[in-house]
Structure 1
Amino acid sequence: MCGAGIAGLTVAGQLASKGWEVTLLEAAPERRTQGYMIDFFGPGYDAAEKIGILDRLRELHYPISEARFVRPNGRSQSVDYGIVAANEGGKLLSLMRQDLEQTLFEILPDSVDVRFGSAVVSVEDRTDYVTAVLADGSRISGDIVVAADGIHSAVRHNLFGDSAAFDRQLGMHTCAYTFDSPRLHGKLGDALVSTDEVDRMVGLYGLRDGSVALFAAHRVSDTVLPADPREAIREAYEGMGDDIAEAIDKCPEPEHLYYDQVAQVELPVWSRGRVVFAGDACQAVSLLAGQGASLAIAGGVLLVEKITSGVELSAAFAEYEEEWMPVVVEKQAAGRRAASGFLPRTPLQLWVRRVSLALLRSPFFGKFVTSAITGTKPSK
């Protein structure tokens, strides 16, 4: 296994629970603590129940009372979060991404050999085994390699070449971090508060440990990641009011900061020989689609079901791709459609979003607005 993110942990845990010997390789030196709030719904919700973590996720869920959008003039528009959850049939949890990862770590069988600081740089596929070559020159061989090493997958680059050929850049950068501010924590309460203007947004919410979490996104003309992400954040979100200024002033050092491109991965085939891809390495939908974590768990569970079904590996990988790729393609398209609502580019798009949010209160239109936001079919 390459990658100890949500997809990698899911696959590693499920394979080990079915008797497989699993080595989980993670390039980072330790578990990542950076992350942001996610709305966990869709196919991953049912998959979480299947693998026995749903009750734990409910314990970790943040009961968001409202999403409040604050305009530059101070006026605000609020959305009852209960309406959004109800329109999803009640199957929606607000979670910190790192809490979801921690839950998957908690159920990881002791037999899994987890190795941090172990970056896979290439794979050597043979007829009856495959070898992962690590950055330190060491080698590990096994029956398969599951590449769940994220949107910037080194394994994908090794097997298929230039990663840019498979990236669909959506013209945005995003960042997330946590910081201490008793004033803001008290002011936020249990609401998720976001700015409401064109081309950039900052969302703030209070966490149960007393800290404040920030999640932000802004449009960029050049999607290349900056050499100094902290400076890029300061420039992007300057002049957005005193609360945002305080949050930006408390931006941590880069090692405690999440900063990345907003992009999708469109990989035409998800396996080659004894190597198969999972999670963002092959199916990144971007934060605009809102279901990356959900799809990572559901897709990981499906992959394990295929691998352990008794058919040949090539057939198992083909079935996984045939069944799951159309789901991912649909969610990616929904994410691109949602771009103007997530981060409006023009005053007209901003107005349309405001009207759409107002319609959430409507018993009839609300389900269709929720469907447009989440990319799911309206619940009955």
Structure 2
Amino acid sequence: MKAIIVGAGIAGLVAARQLGLAGWQALVLERSAAPRPDGYMMDFFGPGVEASERIGLHPYLAEVAYQVEAAEYMDPGGRVTASLDYLKFADLAGGNVLSLLRPDMESAALKALDEVEAGRVQLRYGVHIERMEHHGAQVQVWPGGGQPVETADLLIGADGIHSAVRAAFFGPEEDFLSPLGMRAAAFIVHEPALNRQFKNRFVLSDTVDRTAGIYGLRDSEVASFLVYRQDPLAKLDGTRERLRRIFAGAGGQVDRLLELCPPDPYDDAVAQVLVPCWHQRAVVLIGDAAAAVSLLAGQGGAMAVCAAAALGDALGPVSSPEQLPAALDEYERVMRPKIATAQASGRRAANSFLPRRKLGLLWRRLILRSTRLPGMDRIIARQIVKRLAK
């Protein structure tokens, strides 16, 4: 059996590994010319940890994880207004929480492909697909650039929130995309002074309707994650100029980051993807293409690994196209409840992550400061885990 996987993100790479280990042939086609260097930090725990341990991916992820000591909110004057002991939270969440940069997760998944028998998984970057069609019981893909047409028993759409596979076989993007009224940007810069200041800490601006997250990486680099409210129908100007305008006055450290902002950083709507059925005939969706939970849920990477593992479990025993419908039904049966929980968490996060008024900032500070009281840290950690780790 052969699968074509469109998208070399976390979901696509892990799915390719699982299929290759099960004896399938897998061809991964990625539009980007190389692995993407930019991305944001994610907490990886709960279902993601369970799935990664079961399939043997966890050691690769642990190798690139960051040791975060604290999460802090800082006002525009540079004063810490509230903080959370991250190590204590990790312990209360079960002790197995990884802080992972999205590009590092992809590099770990790439490294894990070495376990697959040579020749079973092919990976091509810089592929601009011209056409995708059903071909009897199979699918055909035209990679473009003079490359030959590829035929497979299954096409897996792992190409993200703006999935071309979904658009080609399931319908236009607007039928499935549910914007949450905000946008998120992310980029990485080389800035030794800020790196020293924010090493081993998540620092977020304590501001209304916008939040800038900063964390120090390896090699004197600093990563940023900026979230702000934005009307989905509003006309957008240049990204760097828009970010500088919206985040003006958020603090000197944020100003310095935006001085170094690249001309065209990652910037996209915060949205969920809601697709009634994730498969039809010989096409299936996975990861954000099937069910983006939103960046604010912090579970995109975990759900990508869960989905790839579940798809691998369902497809591993398949030896003929006639067995595909039942296997894909099983994949959805396993993943639907997990996705529903993560998407509900994402909607709650969208309502609380960006307070609309100063009263919301004060309430958040009160909640975080209460974690210093005996017993309250456990109550709050349990609530977070209950929401995200089901």
> Shorter-chain TM-score category?
over 0.9
Deviation (angstroms), 1:139: 2.2
Whole-angstrom CA distance in 2 between matches of 1:141 and 1:349: 54
Amino acid in structure 1 at the alignment position of 2:66: Y
Amino acid in structure 2 at the alignment position of 1:239: G
Match of 1:229 in 2: 239
Amino acid in structure 2 at the alignment position of 1:280: D
CA contact (8 A) 1:371 1:378 kept: no
Output aligned runs, 1:218-257, within 5 Å: 218-222=228-232, 226=236, 228-254=238-264, 257=265
Deviation (angstroms), 1:12: 0.5
Whole-angstrom CA distance in 1 between matches of 2:76 and 2:217: 25
Match of 2:89 in 1: 84
Deviation (angstroms), 1:237: 0.9
Match of 1:119 in 2: 128
1:344 to 355, 361, 375: 355
Amino acid in structure 2 at the alignment position of 1:290: G
Whole-angstrom CA distance in 2 between matches of 1:377 and 1:40: 10
1:258 to 258, 266, 284: 266
Deviation (angstroms), 1:362: 4.5
2:329 to 301, 318, 331: 318
Per the alignment, in what secondary structure is the counterpart of residue 29 of structure 2?
strand
Match of 2:43 in 1: 39
Whole-angstrom CA distance in 1 between matches of 2:40 and 2:8: 17
Match of 1:164 in 2: 174
Match of 1:281 in 2: 289
Relative distance call for 1:375 and 1:135 in structure 2 (3 A) is farther
Deviation (angstroms), 1:377: 6.7
Whole-angstrom CA distance in 2 between matches of 1:343 and 1:121: 40
Per the alignment, in what secondary structure is the counterpart of residue 297 of structure 2?
coil
2:52 counterpart of 1:48: yes
Greater Cα shift, 169-178 or 369-378? 369-378
CA contact (8 A) 1:42 1:376 kept: no
Whole-angstrom CA distance in 2 between matches of 1:218 and 1:374: 25
CA contact (8 A) 2:342 2:388 kept: no
Alpha-carbon RMSD:
2.0
1:106 to 107, 111, 130: 111
Whole-angstrom CA distance in 1 between matches of 2:307 and 2:234: 29
Match of 2:140 in 1: 131
Per the alignment, in what secondary structure is the counterpart of residue 304 of structure 2?
helix
Greater Cα shift, 30-39 or 344-353? 344-353
Relative distance call for 1:7 and 1:375 in structure 2 (3 A) is farther
Whole-angstrom CA distance in 2 between matches of 1:227 and 1:115: 33
TM-score (normalizing by structure 1):
0.93
Match of 1:71 in 2: 75
Deviation (angstroms), 1:65: 1.0
Deviation (angstroms), 1:171: 0.9
Greater Cα shift, 188-197 or 363-372? 363-372
CA contact (8 A) 1:289 1:335 kept: yes
Please give the per-residue CA displacement for 1:222-274, whole angstroms capped at 9, x wherever unaligned.
Answer: 356835211121112112222111100000132xx221111110011000100
Deviation (angstroms), 1:189: 2.8
Match of 1:62 in 2: 66
1:93 to 94, 98, 112: 98
Please give the per-residue CA displacement for 1:253-311, whole angstroms capped at 9, x wherever unaligned.
Answer: 32xx2211111100110001000010000110011211110010011110111012348
Deviation (angstroms), 1:67: 0.8
Whole-angstrom CA distance in 1 between matches of 2:52 and 2:389: 21
CA contact (8 A) 1:39 1:95 kept: yes
CA contact (8 A) 1:121 1:155 kept: no
**Structure 2: runs of 5 or more not aligned:** none
Amino acid in structure 2 at the alignment position of 1:347: K
Match of 2:367 in 1: 356
2:232 counterpart of 1:216: no
Per the alignment, in what secondary structure is the counterpart of residue 107 of structure 1?
helix
Whole-angstrom CA distance in 2 between matches of 1:2 and 1:378: 28
Whole-angstrom CA distance in 2 between matches of 1:29 and 1:377: 34
Match of 1:182 in 2: 192
Per the alignment, in what secondary structure is the counterpart of residue 216 of structure 1?
strand
Deviation (angstroms), 1:44: 1.2
Whole-angstrom CA distance in 2 between matches of 1:372 and 1:290: 15
1:309 to 312, 317, 324: 317
Whole-angstrom CA distance in 2 between matches of 1:217 and 1:48: 29
Whole-angstrom CA distance in 2 between matches of 1:81 and 1:71: 20
Whole-angstrom CA distance in 1 between matches of 2:38 and 2:20: 27
Please give the per-residue CA displacement for 1:304-347, whole angstroms capped at 9, x wherever unaligned.
Answer: 11012348100111111122112101211111112233221222
Whole-angstrom CA distance in 1 between matches of 2:301 and 2:198: 25
TM-score (normalizing by structure 2):
0.91
Please give the per-residue CA displacement for 1:174-202, whole angstroms capped at 9, x wherever unaligned.
Answer: 11111122221122232211111111011
1:29 to 28, 33, 42: 33
Relative distance call for 1:323 and 1:235 in structure 2 (3 A) is same
Whole-angstrom CA distance in 2 between matches of 1:378 and 1:272: 29
**Structure 1: runs of 5 or more not aligned:** none
